[in-house]
Every structure is written in C-alpha cells, then in structure tokens.
Amino acid sequence: MIRKKRRTASISGRRHEWINHPGCKCRRTTGEVQRRCVLSKRRRLSSDLELGAGDGPWWSSVADGWSLFKAFCDNTALHGLRYITAEGMPIVHRLMWVATCFAGLLGAGWLIWSIWLRYATSPTVTMVQDTSYPLYHIPFPAVTVCSVNKVLRSEAVKFVEEYTGKNGSSEEAARYLAVVGALGLMSYPTYHRPFQFFQYNMSGRPLLSDVNVTELMLRVMPSCTDIFVACFWKGMEIDCCERFLVQRTEEGFCYSFNSRTAETRWNESLLRNNAAGATTGLEVFFKGQAGQAIDGLDILRGINVHIHHPDSYPDVAKGLFVPEAPSHVMMAQVSPSQTVSTEEVRAIDLSMRRCYFPGEGHIYGLPVDTYQQDSCFMACRMHFLAKACNCTPYFFPRTIGMRECAAVDLECLSMNNAATRSNKPPNGTPGFHPEESALDCECMPPCTATQYSVESNYIQTGNLESKRGKGYVDVFFKQMGGVRYRNDVMFGWMDLLVSFGGIAGLFLGFSLLSGAELLYWIFAGVAVCVKLDPIKLSR
C-alpha cells in the first residue's frame, strides 16, 4: 500500500499541495495534480517503447527520426532491416545489410515496373482454344463474282443510240461509247486507268455529264445469265440467278452468294457447311464474253472472285482472277478461324485493346448492320474521295448532298489514286514519311470475328461440266474443323496483385500485414512529430 504524505504551504496567498506518488512528485494547485501525473505516465510509456530518450518533453523525444526508424526496424517483419539497427552490430555488417536491402528494393521495383509495362502495352493475349472447331458453327463465306468487263458492248450501243439518236457505228457514237467504257474502268485501286484512256480523247470528257452513272452502269453491266452457266451447292445444282444477288463493290457492280451486304438483302439464315474437300462447297461455271468489250479498252477476259465475311463488303484488292479457259478450275481452299474475346477484355480501354465490341464501331455511309474492318476501310476511302473530289464513284451508296463522279471527275480520281491505297500509320512509325499517305482511317478489327484464309490452285480438270463454260471455280473448306482463338486479358487485377505481391515477398518479405504495419508506423511518426498541447492530449 502506497503511503502518501500530504503537506500544505502558502505562497503569495495561494494554497498548494504536495503529493508523493510513484514516478510523480509535484506541487499542485487545485485541479492540476491529476493532469501532471498522466503526463508523467506518458513519459515512462515512451521510454518503454524506446521511441526516444532524454530529459526533455516526451514529444521532443519521440520526434527523433532515428529513434522512430530504429523502433520500426526492430519490430518490422520485413527482411534484413532489424540487422541494420541491432545493438552491437559492427558498422561493416550494418552497411552490408543496408546494401542488401537496397538491392532487394531495386530488384523488386524493376520487376514490378516490367510487369506493369507489359500489362500497359500488351494487355491482352490470344491463345488457341480449339483446333477442331466444328464447321457447322461457322457460316460459309460470301462469294462475290465480278466480271472484269463491266460494260457489255451490245448494251452500251443500245444506250448510245437512244441517247444520241444516231447509229452506233458513227464517229460521234464511238466517242460516247468510249466514255461509257471508261466509266466501267472506274475501280479501286486503279482509279488512274479511266483518265489514262481519256488522255487520247480529251474532247470526250464533258460527255454524259447529265446521265445518272449508277443507272447507266446497272443497264450496261453483264446480267446474271450473261455470266453463269451452272451453280452447285453441296453437290446439288441450284439456280444461279436466285442465289447470286447484285452486290456493290469497289470495282463496280457484281453478284454475291451468301452475302448480307448485297443490294437485295439475304432474308434467309446464312448458309453453312459441314464437309471439307473439293466439290463439297460452292461450284460455279462461267460463260465467256468474247466480242463484248468496248473497242480500245485493254481489259482481260475472265472474272474476279472475292471470298469474304458474309456481313462485310469485299476487299477487291484481295480477289482471285479466273481467266477464260475451258477444262480448268480455280480451287479456293478456305480455312476458317474464329476469335472470341472475353468480357474482361471489354473493361480495358479502347486505345489499349485496339478492337471494337458490338455497339462500339460505327460505319457511316454504308448500309451495314454489323461492324467489319473491310467495310470500315471501304467507307473511309469513300469519304476521302468525297472530300478530295467532291464526288464519289457510282458503286458507292448515295449519301445526302453528295453527287456521283462523272467523266469530268476522272482526273481528280486519278490524282488521288495513290492516296487511297494505304492507310496512314501512327505518327513516328519508322519507315514511313509523314506525307506519304493522306488516308487516315480508324478501322480497328472487331474483338469477336470470323476470318477466312484462302489458298488457291489453278489446275486442269476433267469435270465434264467445265466444258460447258469458259471458267470454273470450286470454293470449299480445306479441313473438317476450324481454329477457334480466345482473346483474354493477360493480367487481371487479381493477377497483378498476385504478381506484385509475389515479387515483393520474394525480395523483401513483404505481405499485406507488412503493408498495414508500415502504415501504422507512418501514422505514428506523423502523430509524434506534430507538436500537440500536452494538456489537450491528456484529455
């Protein structure tokens, strides 16, 4: 039992009391004894925690940075720090542990930064999910057939005779025929050809300026019966003119099979196939068009075949040319592949994933329901020519306020021909001149897409049907299965947390509890460094 000795004294008329208490001997006025004893207890507590030493006030002692750092190192779970401040540790050993801990910190920081850069620059990864994906899950590709000769001479002569009221063999009619033939040469990526033809007949340029070029080309183009002899789907004969519909392409009006971008929309479900090998898909036999070309036009005799996605316009620069030759076949072996992106990819910023999910990509000027990259590039070239020449070629859909290019615009199309062939790369890309291309298209691929890779062989054939026509194309799947890819995030937030935590634990012994411990000591250091009123603090 603690014995207290109380005595009183009077100084300047005030009453004071003295109290003896373990660790607290002080003179008090009324109401001060309890507060002073609490402060004395705080001094002893600080000394016990070794947060400071000395005879000064407790907050000055705690504020000592070395004392706080020593207390942290002595109590933390991080590797190596306790040896830096251990009592009796030689200075050489301390420096060795300082260097070791610093090297561990640098190593952890470098690896964490490398992983973050990898995530930021390549946030997604594409992996093979199935190498034998069933064909019945993949639509059969659209097949677009384009006659190289876009103008039948017989139809062009009829038009010129009606337009001029003169015989088609007259000199003036020949000039009009040349204009019609030149308009038929208008195509991507050879917009220069019509103008080259007019360099020898400049007086013919203003002709037909009042004619609707779209209606004219639809009238003089080869009809379905002028192109097709017979068609077979899965070995069964079908009506070519019922299945092949008029299709707008950048080389003119063509005919398309299983396409949703044709002028007459395909109302049925897209056709599919579950077989592979020759004659198991689409077979088309063509007629010849001897004597139907306009005089003076240097064009090949044959057809162009384009194999593309059913929801996309064809890229005419990738077509297969089939010359007029009986007993020969163009075998087009199709290898389909499908890429599917997970919903986690959608959460990544568009500038990083570089692909469009449904509802994100928009194509202006083309009547399409589904975004496809080839259609986007086609629309981009259309808008570029509209801005450069104040018109668009006849095979593009008409837009409000935009006229179609006539013969007087062929020179402008020729001047901008090279600019339409390549898209402008990002600024600073090595190997490209800043003024090399004026075509700037933001046409990223869809995140979920189906691609058709085509291998072609032009060989002789013993198929009896091929003798009925001048050309034969056989489009079929190469193998019984396609390849399915899965596009996923390389690192999710959980993966990043595990990676960062593993590296920090390996190099520093860091964990979530270590992080909480570090925060505790940071807040403790801030608290003791703030000079608080000791009387308020005791309350």
Say if 166 falls within a structural domain.
Answer: no
Assign residue 239 the CATH number of its domain.
2.60.470.10
The answer to whether residue 118 is domain-embedded is yes
* Contact present, 537 and 58 (Cβ < 8 Å): no
101: three-class secondary structure by DSSP = helix
pLDDT of residue 285: 94
Same domain membership, residue 70 and residue 13: yes
Query: Which candidate, 352, 362, 356, 351, places its Cα nearest to that of 341?
Result: 356
Instruction: Give the per-residue pLDDT at 86.
Output: 80
Pair 267, 309 in one domain: yes
* 337 and 253, same domain (yes or no): yes
Strand extents, DSSP E, 182-287: 228-233, 236-238, 244-249, 252-257, 282-286
pLDDT of residue 429: 78
pLDDT of residue 298: 67
pLDDT score of 54: 44
Judge whether 416 lies within some domain: no
* Residues of the chain by 3-state class (helix, strand, coil), percent to 5: 40, 20, 40
Is 473 inside any structural domain? yes
Residue 26 lies in a domain: yes
Q: Determine the pLDDT at residue 266.
A: 63
Same domain, residue pair 233 and 338: yes
Q: Same domain, yes or no, for 142 and 260?
A: yes
Tokens of 352: 């990083």
* Domain residue limits at 275: 138-147+224-288+302-342+450-489
- On whether both 232 and 117 belong to a single domain, the answer is no
Q: For the chain, how many structural domains are there in total?
A: 3
- Residue of 132, 447, 136 whose CA lies nearest to 270: 136
Please tell me whether residues 334 and 482 are part of one structural domain.
Answer: yes
State the pLDDT at residue 537.
Answer: 39
Same domain, 143 and 251: yes
CA dist 307 and 314 (Å) reads: 7
Q: Say whether both 64 and 98 belong to one domain.
A: no
Nearest to 311 by CA among 382, 364, 259, 255: 259
**Tokens (6 digits) for 84:** 């830096």
pLDDT at position 201 is 56
pLDDT score recorded for residue 7:
44
> Is 461 within a domain?
yes
Q: Are both 281 and 233 inside the same structural domain? A: yes
Q: Are residues 54 and 117 in the same domain?
A: no
Report pLDDT for 166: 78
330, 235: one domain: yes
Positions in the chain whose pLDDT score sits under 70: 1-66, 168, 199-206, 266-267, 298, 400, 434, 436, 464-467, 525, 528-539
Reference 524, options 55, 85, 50; nearest CA is: 50
The answer to whether position 200 is within a domain reads no
* Side-chain-facing half-sphere of 110: CA atoms under 13 Å: 7
Would you say residue 375 lies in a domain? no
Buried b (16+ CB within 10 A) or exposed e, 167-192: ebeeeebbebbbbbbbbbbbbbebbb
